[in-house]
Amino acid sequence: MSQRITIDPITRLEGHGKIEIFLNEAGEVERAFLQVPELRGFEQFAVGRPVEEMPRITPRICGVCPTAHHMASTKCVDAVFHVEPTPTARKIRELIYNAFMMEDHTLHFFFLGGPDFVVGPQAPAAERNILGVIGKVGLEIGGQVIKIRREVRDIINYLGGKVIHPVCGLPGGVSKGLDEEHRLQFLEVARNAVEFARFALKIFDDVVLKNKEYVDLVLSDAYKLTTYYMGLVDANNRVNFYDGWIRVVDPEGKEFAKFKPADYLDHIAEHVEPWTYIKFPYLKKLGWRGFIEGKETSIYRVAPLARLNASDGMATPLAQQEYERMYEVLGGKPAHNTLAFHWARLIEALQAAEAMVALLEDKEITSPDIRRIPTDTPTEGVGVVEAPRGTLIHHYKTDERGLVTEANLIVATMNNSAAITMSIEKAARAFIKGGKISEGLLNLAEMAFRPYDPCHACGTHALPGDMPLIINIYDYRGELIEILKRD
């Protein structure tokens, strides 16, 4: 009897997401599809808008990571006007950006990814959420999580106007500077953030790494996917979230390409499938080869583990120590273990916090020299940042008045869309045997996409319960024969 399994909704991936799993007559997984049933058309309705308004329009692509869009867009507008931000403006932007990476990453750990480990993959669903985490680590720490999130987000609120959809980016700089009083106040927050990130890594250590069962899960084949990796690096090939070169390594870890963001079209192409609204980016020079992994694949992955794989190390000392330790445990670079994205995320949070401290210790950040007024005629530009969920590319062309004539966007999670589909298929193959669907499938399937941090960390997984997840099983006539539900 052939079966169809629908997991709907899985959670937010550039909007909504739905998984369809098809079993053959023997009850083995034949094919899995991740469908994204949503499209909004930003690339079209950007046309005609003044290009300097794009940093205020494009954050609405994603309210979970609006700061990433705001920053990629602002950098793109710099490029369109051929203007560089002043040194102080750049520092302010990097401060905002690292604050954003730090709060987004740590909160993911406590609210979304962490519960699987901290509370346990086999724990009752009702406990596998932030409340369960608090139960395990104590209310005091739970309070710290909420507090640090608020304090770090307040930095973005102060400089960006709004933490949900910041507005401060202008070509050549930022609209608001930082005074000495706030520098000192934020420096203290940043120092606490470093301690907090280290503490989160310690929890990961105690809970995951000291538990053989978890380590085996992390290293298991079900959660392994062999692909290329992409990430921004600085001049020394160290991880950078705000700027640099896009570097790609092959499945064996060798450098495959390193290019300036403006040359992305030579390296990245997007494939269209008729069954989903999302497109599938791949390495252009290799051509689209389908949903396959291994040496022959043309699919690359982005986001925390991919960035670490694509770099030679972290840019800050404490994070570098953790980086070395991680690869020691995982057995070298590159690591293809999807669950290790959670670990890499915490190492990145530590780098972001360390970077915040360094930026705030530098008094130049309080200089009033925060804008450079563009004088060139606007033309075309590309702006790239590393969003928490991966490489994010904005590309605009304008007329001589700076009105957008063309826009192209390659959005973070989208880069991973093929890999997420394949990860789910692989986990499903490992856990569905002979048509028997284990009760644990629900969470085990969920755990195959959660490492990619499909956006809605807090809203869905945190309060008041858990992300709803439903698997409906149909027989070959399309009749509902069983409902597995966890909510």
Partner 1 sequence: MSKPKVAFYWCASCGGCEEAVVDLAEKILKVVEAVDVVFWPVALDFKKKDVEAMPDASIAVSFINGSVRLSEQEEMVHLLRRKSQLVVAFGSCAHLGGIPGLANFWNKEAIFRRAYFTTPSTVNPDKVVPQEKIVVEGKELTLPAFYDTVRALDQVIDVDYYLPGCAPPPQLVWNAVVAILEGKLPPKGSVLSPNKSLCDDCDRNKTKPEKLSIKEFKRPWEIMLDPEKCFLAQGVICMGPATRTGCEERCISANMPCRGCFGPTDQVYDQGAKFLSALASLIEAKDEKEIEKIVETIVDPAGTFYRFSLPKSILGRRKMEAIK
Give residues 284-313 in contact with partner 1 (rule: CB under 8 A). 284, 288
Residue 261 interacts with partner 1 (CB under 8 A)?
no
Q: Angle, nearest 10°, between helix axes 139-160 and 180-204?
A: 140
Q: Which residues contact 64 (CB under 8 A, 6 or more apart)?
A: 12, 104, 455, 456, 457
Residue 26 interacts with partner 1 (CB under 8 A)?
no
| Partner residues linked to 380 by β-bridges | 397
Which residues, numbered 402-431, are part of the site for partner 1 (CB under 8 A)?
A: 402-403, 408, 410
Residue 242 and residue 472: Cα distance in Å, rounded?
A: 42
The full DSSP string for 11-35 is --SSS--EEEEEE-TTS-EEEEEEE
Q: Is 21 in contact with 32 (CB distance < 8 Å)? A: yes
Residue 270 interacts with partner 1 (CB under 8 A)?
yes
Least separation in angstroms between residue 351's CB and partner 1 is: 24
Residue 433 interacts with partner 1 (CB under 8 A)?
no
From 113-121, 141-149, 254-262, 334-342, give the range in contact with partner 1 by CB under 8 A: 141-149
Q: Which is nearer to partner 1, 104 or 293 (CB)?
A: 104
Residue 456 interacts with partner 1 (CB under 8 A)?
yes
Residue 168 interacts with partner 1 (CB under 8 A)?
yes
**Mode of pairing for the β-strands spanning 228-233 and 245-249:** antiparallel
CA 316-337-109 angle, 5° bins: 60
From 249-257, 297-305, 425-433, 468-476, give the range in contact with partner 1 by CB under 8 A: 468-476
In the sheet where 380-387 sits, what is the strand order? 380-387, 390-398, 404-410
Which residues, numbered 52-81, are part of the site for partner 1 (CB under 8 A)?
A: 52-53, 56-57, 59-64, 66, 77, 81
Here's the x/- map for partner 1, 339-358, by CB under 8 A: it reads as --------------------
Residue 93 interacts with partner 1 (CB under 8 A)?
no
Least separation in angstroms between residue 270's CB and partner 1 is: 5
Burial status of residue 80 (CB atoms within 10 A of its CB: 0-12, 13-18, 19 or more): buried
Which secondary structure element, helix H or strand E, spans residue 393, and what is its range? strand 390-398
Q: Which is nearer to partner 1, 39 or 321 (CB)?
A: 39
What backbone torsions phi and psi does residue 262 show, to the nearest 5 degrees?
-60, -20
Residue 334 interacts with partner 1 (CB under 8 A)?
no
Q: Which residues contact 259 (CB under 8 A, 6 or more apart)?
A: 245, 246, 266, 267
Residue from 122, 126, 138, 176 touching partner 1 (CB under 8 A): that is 176
Least separation in angstroms between residue 309's CB and partner 1 is: 23
**Mode of pairing for the β-strands spanning 18-23 and 29-35:** antiparallel
Residue 146 interacts with partner 1 (CB under 8 A)?
yes
Residue 105 and residue 349: Cα distance in Å, rounded?
A: 6
Q: Is 129 in contact with 145 (CB distance < 8 Å)? A: no
Which residues, numbered 365-394, are part of the site for partner 1 (CB under 8 A)?
A: 371, 373-374
Which residues, numbered 5-24, are part of the site for partner 1 (CB under 8 A)?
A: 6, 8-9, 12, 16, 18, 20, 22
Neighbouring CB atoms inside 10 A of 164's CB total 14
Q: Which is nearer to partner 1, 126 or 373 (CB)?
A: 373
Residue 171 interacts with partner 1 (CB under 8 A)?
yes
User: Is the peptide bond prior to 464 cis by the omega test (within 30 degrees of 0)?
Assistant: yes
Residue 105 interacts with partner 1 (CB under 8 A)?
no
Residue 260 interacts with partner 1 (CB under 8 A)?
no
Residue 138 and residue 165: Cα distance in Å, rounded?
A: 33
From 279-287, 289-297, 316-324, 444-452, give the range in contact with partner 1 by CB under 8 A: 279-287
Q: Which is nearer to partner 1, 320 or 391 (CB)?
A: 391
Q: Which is nearer to partner 1, 238 or 456 (CB)?
A: 456
Residue 462 interacts with partner 1 (CB under 8 A)?
yes
Residue from 25, 26, 28, 48 touching partner 1 (CB under 8 A): that is 48
Q: What is the largest CA-CA distance in the chain?
A: 71
Residue from 212, 216, 274, 332 touching partner 1 (CB under 8 A): that is 274
Least separation in angstroms between residue 279's CB and partner 1 is: 7
Residue from 82, 198, 224, 271 touching partner 1 (CB under 8 A): that is 271
Structure tokens at 57: 């329009």
Residue 460 interacts with partner 1 (CB under 8 A)?
yes
